[in-house]
């Protein structure tokens, strides 16, 4: 069984470690992902690891807060988050951490339990420096 899907973390035979892990390379992906999960055996519905960020959207040309999400993995091309916000495939939203904000588009979703979803999103950016600044901030906060 391939263990590259983000929501299959609980079936890994990996012990809990204090260090963050590089997810094994998946040939469907262009860039390697870094996992922020400390214990891949814990079901996502109960996973308290990762890094919490703010989500926002644009309404009438004003950036409006939506809620929070928990980052489970990240790469230069996208991000995997756990949240209960009403986002669906194709919707755009911002990921915010500290003074950095980057626009994303939902590319896949998987319901975990009730309103809780695991979302895969790709970055939408004007300049790669925007994404790199966000990834650097996440890596510093998560100590990857």
Check whether 95 has a pLDDT greater than 60.
Answer: yes
Residue that wins the pLDDT comparison between 23 and 113: 113
pLDDT of residue 38: 73
Taking only the tens place, the pLDDT of each residue in 18-77 is 444 444 555 566 777 777 777 677 666 666 678 899 999 998 889 999 999 999 989 888
- Give pLDDT, residue 106: 96
104-137: burial string, b at 16+ Cβ within 10 Å, e else: bebebbeebeeeebbbbbebeeeeeebbebbbeb
Tell me: pLDDT of 99 over 80: yes
Supply the pLDDT for residue 45.
Answer: 66
Mean pLDDT, the chain, rounded, equals 78
* Burial class (CB within 10 angstroms; exposed 0-12, middle 13-18, buried 19+) of 80: buried
pLDDT over 70 percentage in the chain: 72
Whole-prediction pTM value? 0.74
């Amino acid at each position: 069984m391939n263990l590259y899907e983000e929501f299959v973390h609980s079936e890994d035979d990996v012990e809990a470690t204090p260090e963050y892990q590089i997810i094994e390379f998946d040939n469907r992906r262009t860039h390697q992902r870094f996992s922020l999960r400390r214990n891949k055996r814990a079901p996502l519905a109960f996973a308290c690891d990762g890094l919490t960020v703010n989500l926002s959207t644009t309404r009438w040309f004003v950036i409006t807060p939506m809620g929070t999400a928990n980052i489970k993995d990240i790469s230069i091309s996208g991000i995997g988050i756990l949240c209960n916000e009403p986002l669906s495939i194709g919707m755009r939203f911002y990921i915010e951490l500290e003074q950095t904000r980057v626009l994303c588009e939902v590319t896949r979703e998987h319901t975990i339990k009730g309103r809780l979803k695991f979302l895969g999103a790709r970055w939408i950016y004007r300049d790669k420096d925007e994404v790199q600044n966000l990834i650097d901030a996440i890596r510093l906060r998560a100590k990857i």
